[in-house]
Amino acid sequence: MDTYPITEARTKLGALARQVSAEQKHVALTDRGQTMAVLISPAELEELEYHRVNAEYFARRSRGETGPGVSQDEARRLVLGDAP
């Protein structure tokens, strides 16, 4: 993972965003040596959200909290708060 201080990343943000998207790389942004944020591609974010929704479902199911089924789109909206 490449790492850039926020002050340096600010001047390269467009190039860093394109690199992250095209190469599926991660870029850490630091402030005074501490990682403050990580840039990831939209595709990777979507995959992470998908797995989070599924993990939440299986956790609820293991606790016996499942009710009538809902579509994956509805589950995503409920868990992530996406607009309908």
**pLDDT top residue among 53 and 28:** 28
pTM, entire model: 0.66
Give me the domain span that covers residue 65: 43-80
More confident residue, 47 or 78: 47
Task: Please indicate, yes or no, whether residues 28 and 57 belong to a single structural domain of this protein.
Answer: no
* Lookup: tokens for 84: 């309908």
Q: What is the pLDDT of residues 8-46, one digit of tens each?
A: 999 999 999 999 999 989 999 999 999 999 999 999 999
Angle between helices 72-80 and 42-62 (to 10 degrees): 90
Average per-residue pLDDT in the chain? 89
Q: Six-digit token pair at 55?
A: 């993990």
Question: Average pLDDT, stretch 53-70?
Answer: 82
Same domain, residue pair 54 and 29? no
Q: Which residue has the tokens 């606790």?
A: 63
Query: Residue 32 is part of a domain; what is its CATH number?
Result: 3.40.1620
Secondary structure element (H or E) that encloses residue 5, with its range: strand 2-5
